[in-house]
């Protein structure tokens, strides 16, 4: 594991289903929770550059979702409701009644569902190329069949961790628009390779649950008009995993929300353009996305 940012503490929480590793930073100010994506991701892969940008005036909490990073020891499926419950447990453990919730991809679906179920606990919502916001995905039936085969996910994982070259190609075809422009690409490759070595598949439990044969089984879009907390959506213009139009449509539904598009950035816009991403996030917080 690569070291977390200076000033971050690494802690663990024990629950009946297993152990959750999380990071804390900052000692004062409003609480903000950063939730990473599914598949090959973890807290440090997603939020390494965001934690120090917030910790000066926020209490920052950053969990590894079950079976990611340091939260490998977990029994049972980790679908939408399980992730929502884990967020509730963690907020209670941290003594946090209300927090700004930031979620990437699958993590975006987790914080959206949590906000809809527990609106009094979300003081703000930031969705980064979020999952769970569309009726259908491109190639719905082929994706459903591929997931049900239980072969593709492990095969892709085995190929991606063969070498740094294959790992880089995996990132460039899925989550990065221009890997050569990522300032800390070598560190990112180290982090992703370490995560790949600890997993058997590039597909998360959430995907198996969410993708139906004809439509998405997890879809918050029809309920988004119930979100009342300040909300911002951030999306990379060149995202090949979640089309930009998904966030455009969601922003039209959530009352008073705004959409920030980062040009020449892919699904991991927060790692490709951390300066622009953090500036957008801080602008949102300074403008009222705080308790």
Q: What is the pLDDT of residue 229?
A: 97
- Span 187-226, pLDDT tens digits: 999 999 999 999 989 999 999 999 999 999 999 999 999 9
264 in Cβ contact with 291 (< 8 Å): no
What's the mean pLDDT in 48-77? 95
Cα–Cα nearest to 105, from 132, 142, 136: 132
Q: What is the pLDDT of residue 2?
A: 74
- Span 249-271, pLDDT tens digits: 999 999 999 999 999 999 999 99
Residues in the chain: 291
Query: Distance of CA 95 to CAs 92, 99, 117, 217, 289, Å?
Result: 5, 11, 19, 33, 20
Q: What is the pLDDT of residue 107?
A: 98
- Alpha-carbon Rg for the chain, nearest whole angstrom, is 17
DSSP 13-70: EEETTEEEEEEEE-SSS-EEEEE--SSS--HHHHHTTTHHHHTTTSEEEEEPPTTSTT
pTM: 0.96
What's the mean pLDDT in 68-88? 94
Residue 139 CB contacts under 8 Å (≥ 6 apart), including other chains: none
- Interatomic CA distance for residues 233 and 248, integer angstroms: 8
State yes or no: pLDDT of 1 exceeds 70: no
Pick the range with the lowest mean pLDDT from 119-123, 199-203, 226-230.
199-203
Residue 281 CB contacts under 8 Å (≥ 6 apart), including other chains: 50, 53, 54, 102, 126, 232, 234
- Interatomic CA distance for residues 105 and 117, integer angstroms: 19
């Amino acid at each position: 594991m690569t070291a977390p940012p200076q000033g971050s503490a690494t802690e663990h929480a024990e629950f009946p289903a297993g152990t959750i590793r999380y990071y804390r930073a900052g000692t004062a100010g409003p609480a903000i929770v950063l939730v990473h994506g599914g598949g090959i991701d973890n807290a440090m892969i997603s939020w390494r550059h965001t934690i120090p940008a917030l910790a000066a005036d926020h209490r920052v909490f950053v969990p590894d979702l079950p079976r990611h990073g340091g939260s490998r020891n977990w029994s049972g499926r980790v679908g939408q409701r399980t992730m929502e419950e884990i967020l509730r447990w963690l907020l209670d453990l941290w003594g946090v009644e209300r927090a700004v919730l930031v979620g990437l991809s699958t993590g975006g679906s987790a914080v959206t569902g949590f906000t809809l179920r527990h609106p009094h606990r979300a003081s703000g919502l930031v969705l980064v190329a979020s999952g769970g916001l569309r009726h259908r995905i491109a190639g719905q039936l082929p994706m459903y069949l591929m997931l049900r085969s239980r072969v593709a996910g492990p095969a892709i994982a085995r190929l991606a961790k063969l070498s740094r070259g294959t790992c880089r190609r995996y990132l460039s075809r899925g989550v990065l628009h221009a890997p050569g422009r990522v300032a800390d690409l070598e560190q990112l490759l180290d982090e992703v390779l370490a995560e790949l070595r600890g997993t058997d598949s590039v597909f998360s439990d959430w995907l198996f649950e969410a993708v139906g044969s004809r439509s998405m089984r997890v879809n918050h879009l029809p309920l988004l008009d119930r979100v009342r907390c300040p909300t911002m959506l951030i999306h990379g213009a060149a995202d090949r995993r979640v089309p930009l139009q998904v966030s455009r449509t969601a922003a039209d539904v959530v009352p008073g929300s705004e959409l920030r598009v980062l040009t020449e950035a892919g699904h991991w816009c927060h790692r490709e353009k951390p300066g622009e991403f953090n500036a957008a996030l801080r602008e949102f917080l300074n403008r009222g996305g705080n308790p």
